[in-house]
Amino acid sequence: MKLPEKPALLAQAGEKLELAGNREATVDGCGGVLEYTEDVVRIRYGRGVLRFLGRGLTLHSLAVRTLVVTGYITEIDYAARGEMLPQRETEKEEP
C-alpha cells in the first residue's frame, strides 16, 4: 500500500486516521464525502482532502464525523488546502 509522501500532514488537531492493514481505514474528523466509487473514496479531512484508491471500496459510518473505508486499499493520498492531489495512473495522459 502506498501512503502519502508527507504523513505528518495527516496528524491534525481533532483528526485521526487509523489503518488495519490494507483492508480497513477509520477516519475521525471526516468533513464530508466528495467522491465515492468502488475504486475511489475522496473526503474532506482537516484542512485538506484525503483520497483512498483501491478495489471494492465501501463506506461505513459509526458516528458523526467518523467514517470507515473497507475493501482492498492500494493507495492513500492527502492534499492540504490549495494543493492538488497527485494524478492517478488512469488520469495520466499517454504520449
Residue 10 dihedral angles phi and psi, to the nearest 5°: -75, -25
Domain ranges in the chain?
Answer: 7-80
Strands annotated E in the chain: 16-20, 24-28, 30-36, 40-45, 48-63, 66-80
Interval 38-81: pLDDT, tens:
999 999 988 889 999 999 999 998 788 899 999 999 999 988 87
Give the model's pLDDT for residue 58.
97
User: For 7-80, CATH number?
Assistant: 2.60.40.2000
- Tell me, what's the pLDDT at 47? 83
End-to-end CA distance of the chain: 27
**pLDDT of amino acid 86:** 78
